[in-house]
Structure 1
Amino acid sequence: MVLLVLAAAALWGASRMTWVTLATSDGLTQPRTHALNGGVWFGALTPLALVLVAAIAAVLATRGWLRRLVGVVVAVLAAVAAVPGFALLTGHGRTAERAATLAELPARAHVDQVTTAALPPVLSLIGALAAFAAGVLLARMPAEAARLSGKYDNPVFRRAAAADEVAARQAERARPPSGATGAGSEPARPGSAAPEQLSERVLWDALDAGSDPTDDERRR
């Protein structure tokens, strides 16, 4: 989660910084300077940052293979986010032509100079690496790992789990006392203790699911 937060902040910051600066002239007016920020140079930077923020909520709300699937998606998005910064730093692609197109220069305009900044692409690469590391960690998380926080659970699953827990406690209370004798009675188990009280939240969730925690009769 920390890596996702850092990645989203890095990509958002890179989208606000100037990546390419153009010096142009058309022979009729004074030379002009055009600054292209990350959001213009690579329009997906800001949406990718927002998706990573949404991935944090997805991590909190999922577990098992769903959480690992979130990790795979995050890793793929991280690879996409790394492409523009890597291409600009290594000089791949037609930077001048792309900059002229994005700046929407008139046909008579001529590009005199193209200046690229190093910090924004590096920052985007750092964010992409952080997101990729987070995706790998999520994809490698064991399937039996629990949710990070119960308060973010889907209400349907939470109520079903509460109903199951209440049913298990009712079945436990329906067993004969440890000292009872006769046919059908179970012998006392050494070291057995009284079951813990159900939390207030579990009780309310069980009621929402249609299970009565106060009913001592064994239910199906």
Structure 2
Amino acid sequence: MTWVGVTSSDGLGEERSVDLVGSSWAAASTPLALALVAAVAASFAVRGWASRVLAVLVGLVAVGAGVPAVQALWGEVSYVKAAELAELPGRAEVVATQTYVLPAILALIGSVCALAAAVVLVRKPTARKVLSSKYDAPATRRDEVVRRTRTASERAEENGEGDDLTERMLWDALDAGEDPTDPSGTRKSED
């Protein structure tokens, strides 16, 4: 999209108009946008303090991407910068510049969205999500079943109630080689 229109005159002929697109006028916007796309993928891969560092980096990139938009909307266009980017001959002078608002507004909206994403990323829970135990090794599952069975039995004894074991826990304990009805918690010998 065209960010700035430059009108120049060299004194020899008619005035010349050059449109400066975003890749020329705000050249840093493209790499910063690519960095934000990479941050999306990285946000799924990192947890804990690395997630916080990523959020700070996303915030910095968002601010960096918003600076050219703010300058285009509320600042004056530098004739020297416009002449350099339009690659005008040495004798040509910039007569007028025109700033186009739509590209700057879109870039600013993108920057605000990236800042909001940085805030969400900072607030991202640090707790590791636990996968289902069906992906654990059999020995790990057996140990977990034994631990849950003993914990439920101890809780039931402390409360003076019957066993707090579910039917699934009973079957899992039997599969693990434990006798869920044995109050001593001794393991059955495997035959």
TM-score, scaled relative to structure 2 = 0.70
Amino acid at match of 1:104: E
Choose which of 75, 81, 84 in structure 1 pairs with 2:59: 75
CA drift of 1:167 comes to: 4.0
Amino acid at match of 1:139: V
CA drift of 1:124 comes to: 0.6
Choose which of 71, 92, 96 in structure 2 pairs with 1:113: 96
- Residue of structure 1 equivalent to 2:106: 123
- Residue of structure 2 equivalent to 1:63: 47
Question: Is the contact made by 1:96 and 1:114 (CA closer than 8 Å) also made in structure 2?
Answer: yes
Runs of 4+ in structure 1 off by over 4 angstroms are: 172-175
- Residue of structure 1 equivalent to 2:18: 34
Amino acid at match of 1:190: D
* Structure number, greater radius of gyration: 2
- Residue of structure 2 equivalent to 1:143: 126
* 1:133 corresponds to 2:103: no
- Residue of structure 2 equivalent to 1:84: 68
RMSD across aligned positions (CA): 2.7
CA drift of 1:166 comes to: 4.5
CA drift of 1:57 comes to: 0.9
Q: Tell me the matched-pair count.
A: 155
Question: Is the contact made by 1:88 and 1:95 (CA closer than 8 Å) also made in structure 2?
Answer: no
- Residue of structure 2 equivalent to 1:191: 165
User: What CA distance in whole angstroms lies between the structure 2 residues aligned with 1:104 and 1:145?
Assistant: 54
User: What CA distance in whole angstroms lies between the structure 2 residues aligned with 1:137 and 1:98?
Assistant: 37
Specify whether residues 189 and 44 from structure 1 end up closer, same or farther in structure 2 by C-alpha distance, changes over 3 A only.
farther
- In the alignment, structure 1 segments of 5+ residues that lack a partner are 1-16, 151-161, 179-186, 196-220
Amino acid at match of 2:140: A
CA drift of 1:109 comes to: 0.4
User: What CA distance in whole angstroms lies between the structure 1 residues aligned with 2:107 and 2:73?
Assistant: 11
Question: Is the contact made by 1:86 and 1:125 (CA closer than 8 Å) also made in structure 2?
Answer: yes
CA drift of 1:53 comes to: 1.2
User: What CA distance in whole angstroms lies between the structure 2 residues aligned with 1:142 and 1:170?
Assistant: 29
Choose which of 62, 67, 84 in structure 2 pairs with 1:101: 84
SS at match of 2:44: helix
Map of 1:169-184 to 2, 5 A cutoff? 169-172=141-144
CA drift of 1:41 comes to: 0.8
User: What CA distance in whole angstroms lies between the structure 2 residues aligned with 1:114 and 1:167?
Assistant: 73
SS at match of 1:49: helix
Specify whether residues 171 and 122 from structure 1 end up closer, same or farther in structure 2 by C-alpha distance, changes over 3 A only.
same
User: What CA distance in whole angstroms lies between the structure 1 residues aligned with 2:119 and 2:144?
Assistant: 42
User: What CA distance in whole angstroms lies between the structure 2 residues aligned with 1:109 and 1:63?
Assistant: 55
Amino acid at match of 1:51: A
